[in-house]
Structure 1
Amino acid sequence: MGLLLCKWWMTVWLTALHPFYASVTEITHNAGKKELEVSCRIFADDLENTLKAQNKTSFDITHPANRKQVEGYIAAYLSQHLAIAADGKNIPLHFIGYKIEEDAVWSFLEAENVPTPKKIQVKNDILYAQHPTQTNMIHVMVNGERKSTKLDNPKAECVVEF
């Protein structure tokens, strides 16, 4: 029992020394609306620190004094670090907004007039410049079929076929 407890404490201690850096991007094709619905979950403190450095400003992402300005920062950042193509065609993503949930920022994007794809290509290097150990999980759902992959920094691209 003592050895098990010791291993558990060692894991907790190492986790505290080496934080886990991850994001989750969910891409869902809505066949009825012919839309791609995209959501990105990023730890709030990591995203806030990145946006502050990039924009050389200070703000609180969870309680912003100017929400529209923060939305602009997030939209610009995601447009630089997340790209999706369907069947070889680049898909322009439109930022809808964001919400705070516990310690994360959920950002929402969409693309219109997207027929049901057979292949989705994703480029996602969110927070790669800030965290060498960043992992970005990608979940893609088309016609009710879900496929997932993970991108470990520096790998930033994947292809999901249906």
Structure 2
Amino acid sequence: MGKFLLLVLLSFFQSEKHDFHTSITNAEYNPRTKSMEIAMKLFTDDLELTIKNKHQLILNLNSTNELPEADSLIYNYVIHNFAIQSGKKSVSPTFVGKEIENGITFIYLEIHSFPVAKELLVRNTVFFDTFDDQSNIVNIKLDGELESAFLKKGQETELVQF
């Protein structure tokens, strides 16, 4: 049942118009580089609306008129709304880049020298300031084990245990 729900949810991401507000973040620990590699999947129109509401700027993502500071605005927004904390140590991710495809913006982040722990505190409030029905799914893969957090207003953080 869980795989079916995930497939249905992922199929919704293939449409530019949507009546729901959900993001999916995948984080995977890379033991070779000792870093947490993070990919966020966001609706581009939701991202543009949020930045417009916050800064009164139009990003024009994936166009010839894209705002030169778009990456910086997106990165600053994301790091203020997303964190994975290992133990008592919270480390800000580095912005690796973004890709835009079919109305979806993929944001790539990395946390270097990530301190591995069996409990991770996940916070994801992306778009909570824009949509009352926003939910964020965070999938974390550590040592081949996959755990997920489902976050929404009123439940902005979750302790993920491996």
TM-score band, normalised by the shorter chain?
0.7 to 0.9
Matched letter for residue 85 of structure 2 = A
Matched letter for residue 24 of structure 2 = V
Matches within 5 A, 1:128-143: 128-143=128-143
- Which residue does the alignment assign to 2:71? 71
- Which residue does the alignment assign to 1:58? 58
C-alpha separation in 2, matches of 1:67 and 1:99: 15
Identity over aligned residues, as a percent? 26
Q: CA deviation at 1:52?
A: 1.5
Matched letter for residue 21 of structure 2 = Y
Matched letter for residue 122 of structure 2 = V
| Segments ≥4 residues shifted beyond 2 Å | 64-68
Matches within 5 A, 1:25-40: 25-40=25-40
Is the contact made by 1:39 and 1:106 (CA closer than 8 Å) also made in structure 2?
yes
More helix by share: 1
3-state SS in 2 of match to 1:116: coil
C-alpha separation in 2, matches of 1:119 and 1:67: 39
- Which residue does the alignment assign to 2:123? 123
Which has the higher Rg, Structure 1 or Structure 2? 1
Matches within 5 A, 1:101-120: 101-120=101-120
Q: CA deviation at 1:149?
A: 2.2
Is the contact made by 1:85 and 1:121 (CA closer than 8 Å) also made in structure 2?
yes
C-alpha separation in 1, matches of 2:119 and 2:93: 17
How many matched pairs?
A: 145
Structure 2 unaligned blocks of 5 or more: 1-17
Larger mean CA deviation between 57-66 and 77-86 belongs to 57-66
CA RMSD across the alignment? 1.6
CA shift digits 1:5-55 (9 cap, x unpaired): xxxxxxxxxxxxx81100011111111110010111110000011112212
Q: CA deviation at 1:64?
A: 5.1
C-alpha separation in 2, matches of 1:36 and 1:83: 11
Structure 1 unaligned blocks of 5 or more: 1-17
